[in-house]
């Protein structure tokens, strides 16, 4: 972190840290509960109303946690709201991650040091436009499992997870000296088809067992009466969520039908909205947000702004909605703080509304972080995916007569290569088909190293291929992110049904799970082949507009003698089509400029170095701009501003956006 920023943050944090220390001296006198007679919360016996904002620690590098939290504090918020994604912490059964960017306890403690209270939403399901709504994909190893229900296998996994997570949370509860004032049970359960009260009672029991009887438990559902019927349970305080432009009185009347007395709470007041690949970037006007916020606060309501700081779906963490539409890498959300943590007009407008009701902290607001345009970086082709299989899949393939799903070969994210041979001559174009929409989610097809086309979930079910009998058919399948909302979040990936060639079912598959992370981190620049040459080998003749999925690499240096470098930046992909990008082994996420709306990816400064060249690794899946005639076309570019292709601005969220 640049020296000036460290110094500034230290000065700003000092009074908050001192106040936090004073607040810890006597946890036994601390209490947070509901006064039903007066319709408000009581904090240490005094009436209390929270004005909160959502931030997802799993979408913000821990390097920037303090900066983002302090900006939220200086906006006048007295609380933050946060999810805990189960799959972020238990990627494999019984293997837990709670350090570095996964250190949820440290994040909560940082909020406490800044005198920000915490509204905790530990799921186990969270939605959040996060892969599978935070549920681990390995749950699907039991194919018939009914998620978010009393299914015994699901409950056993949930019980084990809560037994790990909640004991970490208990010391951080408000009554125990920490900042957590309320804990949400499940998430918008009334929108799910199972409507299983036994499941909610199970969760209530386990939360009470691990956290005690004093903690205030609550639920959140959309502001429709039918949603609260299945989403609420006696003993859990019912709250609602709705966005700008909605009828506030009518929405809170829905809450009152379930909770006749108690505080009014909008647990998700939408300051913006989510995006999908191929659709315009969503914006909600500042005027609409501030008008609704003012009116809710004037009613004495408690409000959490979702999102106040969106962040980034690094690596493969984005979710998807149905009909299948994957969310992009950016989770900017048009929030008051941008994806990069920058201050916006909306930030200051929201702050001005809050100061009409509560005292806003004095002192300077941490500035937006400086950005730097490092310029163009020339890449060279390393290997195609097929050429790198010994690196990407060192254990070799699984053999199966019929295709297996990702989960069946214990590959939960990224890519799997399916390989077989053509059983007959296809001198004339012959249809290769996924007859029951069996590709989840995109498949890059080649025969003997010649690209043939792409199959895509819900869009493209057939491609015509050519080749001789015995030729190698490769089908590289990409998991684009699991459905995070609705009944179809049991989202199996890969080839979930047979492929047919003409009228024949293809059999005898070799299935290669690809470990892209180990390959990129362990073999940066050391894959051999082309050395330092920018020469691009021509591929076998193809009439298609595709190139084989392949890795490209390049380096750039940041001078060590310039103060305050490195700085944040954005990477864009002129002439590239779709793929994945890593910098110094850090998986930034997916790029897809031909679909948009996201054209650039946020690059946080902490992954960059001045002590050595920075390595950019690109996996281009469809078509690279590289050729042997003009190597200068094989470049990416670092710029100092984010770029989006198209956007649409709402003054209120249409009813179909209550949730997609």
Torsion, Cα 609 610 612 618, to 10 degrees, reads 40
Give the C-alpha separation, 619 to 625, whole Å: 13
Q: What is the pLDDT of residue 528?
A: 55
| Sign of the Cα pseudo-torsion (373, 644, 65, 111, in order) | positive
**Residue among 90, 113, 188, 339 flagged as catalytic:** 188
Active site residue 188: yes
What is the helix, strand, coil percentage profile of the chain, to 5? 25, 30, 45
For residue range 516-553, what is the model confidence (pLDDT) as tens digits? 999 999 875 566 544 334 444 555 555 568 999 999 99
DSSP readout, 387-400? TTHHHH-TT-PEEE
> Look-up: residue for tokens 């509960």?
33
Q: What is the per-residue pLDDT for 3? A: 45
CA dist 240 and 263 (Å) reads 11
In sequence order, the β-bridge partners of residue 290 are none
Tokens 């003698």: give the residue: 561
Q: How far apart are CA 127 and CA 132, in angstroms?
A: 7
pLDDT at res. 537 = 52
Determine whether 617 is exposed, middle or buried from the number of CB atoms within 10 Å of its CB (0-12, 13-18, 19+): buried
Residue among 386, 407, 368, 519 at smallest CA distance from 449: 386
Q: What is the reported pTM?
A: 0.93
Closest CA to 623 of 498, 563, 522, 536: 536
Residue 102 Cα to chain centre, angstroms: 14
Q: What span, in angstroms and rounded, lies between the C-alpha atoms of 248 and 312?
A: 30
Predicted pLDDT at 19: 45
pLDDT number for residue 162:
98
Residues 354/75, Cβ–Cβ less than 8 Å = yes
Which SS3 state, helix, strand or coil, does residue 455 take? strand
Segments in the chain below pLDDT 70: 1-28, 524-544, 654-660
Residue 336 CA to residue 162 CA, distance in Å, equals: 33
From residue 645, alpha-carbon distances to 34, 590, 648 in Å are 47, 16, 11
Could you read off the pLDDT of 558-577 as tens digits, one per residue? 988 788 899 999 999 999 99
**Selected catalytic residue, list 268, 339, 456, 620:** 268
Provide the b/e sequence for 422-454 (b: ≥16 CB within 10 Å).
bbeebeeebebbbeeebbbbbbbbbbeebbbbb
For the stretch 291-341, pLDDT in tens is 999 999 999 999 999 999 999 999 999 999 999 999 999 999 999 999 999
Confidence at residue 512, expressed as pLDDT on a 0 to 100 scale: 98
The pLDDT assigned to 561 comes to 78
Looking at residue 628, its pLDDT comes to 77
Closest to 267 (Cα-Cα) out of 344, 195, 328, 190 = 190
Give the per-residue pLDDT at 560.
83
Give residue 539's pLDDT: 55
């Amino acid at each position: 972190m640049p020296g000036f920023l460290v110094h500034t943050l230290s000065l700003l944090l000092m009074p908050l840290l001192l106040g936090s220390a004073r607040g810890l001296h006597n946890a036994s006198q601390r209490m947070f509960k509901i006064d039903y007679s007066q319709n408000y919360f009581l904090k240490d016996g005094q009436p209390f109303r929270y004005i909160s904002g959502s931030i997802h620690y799993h979408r913000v590098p821990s390097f920037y946690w303090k900066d983002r939290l302090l900006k939220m504090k200086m906006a006048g918020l007295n609380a933050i709201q946060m999810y805990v994604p189960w799959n972020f912490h238990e990627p494999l059964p019984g293997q837990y991650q709670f350090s570095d960017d996964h250190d949820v306890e440290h994040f909560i403690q940082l909020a406490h040091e800044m005198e920000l209270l915490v509204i905790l939403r530990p799921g186990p399901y969270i939605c959040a436009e996060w892969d599978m709504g935070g549920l681990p994909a390995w749950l699907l190893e039991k194919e018939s499992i009914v998620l978010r229900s009393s299914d015994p296998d699901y409950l056993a996994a949930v019980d084990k997870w809560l037994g790990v997570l909640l004991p970490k949370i208990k010391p951080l509860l408000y009554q125990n000296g920490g900042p957590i004032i309320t804990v949400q049970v499940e998430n918008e359960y009334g929108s799910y088809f199972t409507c299983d009260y036994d499941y909610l009672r199970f969760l209530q029991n386990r939360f009470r067992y691990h956290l005690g009887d004093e903690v205030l438990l609550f639920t959140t559902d959309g502001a429709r009466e039918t949603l609260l019927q299945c989403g609420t349970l006696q003993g859990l305080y019912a709250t609602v969520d709705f966005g700008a432009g909605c009828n506030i009185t009518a929405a809170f009347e829905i809450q009152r039908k379930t909770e006749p007395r108690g505080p009014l709470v909008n647990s998700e007041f939408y300051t913006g909205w989510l995006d999908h690949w191929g659709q315009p970037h969503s914006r909600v006007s500042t005027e609409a947000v501030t008008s609704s916020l003012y009116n809710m606060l004037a009613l004495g309501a408690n409000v959490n702004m979702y999102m106040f700081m969106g962040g980034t779906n690094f690596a493969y963490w984005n979710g998807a909605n149905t009909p299948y539409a994957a969310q992009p890498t950016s989770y900017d959300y048009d929030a008051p703080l941008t994806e990069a943590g920058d201050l916006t007009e909306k930030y200051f407008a929201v702050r001005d509304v809050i100061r009409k009701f509560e005292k806003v902290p004095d002192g300077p607001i941490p500035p937006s972080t400086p950005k730097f345009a490092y310029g163009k970086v020339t890449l060279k082709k390393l290997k195609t995916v097929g050429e790198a299989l010994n690196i990407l899949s060192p254990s070799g393939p699984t053999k199966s007569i019929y295709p297996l799903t990702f989960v069946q070969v214990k590959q939960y994210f990224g890519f799997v290569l399916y390989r077989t041979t053509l059983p007959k001559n296809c001198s004339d174009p012959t249809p290769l088909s996924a007859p029951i929409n069996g590709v989840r989610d995109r498949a890059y097809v080649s025969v003997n190293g010649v690209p043939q086309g792409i199959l895509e979930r819900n869009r493209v079910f057939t491609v015509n291929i050519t080749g001789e009998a015995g030729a190698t058919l490769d089908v590289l399948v990409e998991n684009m992110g699991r459905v995070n909302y609705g009944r179809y979040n049991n989202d199996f990936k890969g080839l979930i049904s047979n492929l047919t060639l003409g009228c024949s079912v293809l059999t005898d598959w070799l299935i290669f799970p690809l470990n892209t992370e180990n390959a990129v981190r362990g073999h940066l620049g050391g894959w051999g082949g082309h050395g330092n040459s920018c020469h691009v080998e021509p591929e076998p003749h193809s009439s298609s507009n595709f190139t084989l999925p392949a890795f490209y690499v390049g380096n750039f240096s940041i001078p060590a003698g310039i103060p305050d470098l490195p700085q944040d930046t954005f990477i864009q992909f002129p002439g590239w089509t779709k793929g994945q990008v890593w910098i110094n082994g850090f998986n930034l996420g997916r790029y897809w400029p031909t679909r948009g709306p996201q054209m650039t990816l946020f690059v946080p400064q902490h992954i960059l170095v001045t002590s050595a060249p920075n390595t950019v690794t690109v996996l281009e899946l469809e078509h690279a701009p590289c050729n042997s005639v003009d190597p200068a076309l094989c470049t990416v570019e670092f710029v100092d501003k984010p770029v989006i292709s198209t956007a649409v601005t709402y003054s209120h969220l249409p009813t179909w956006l209550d949730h997609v």
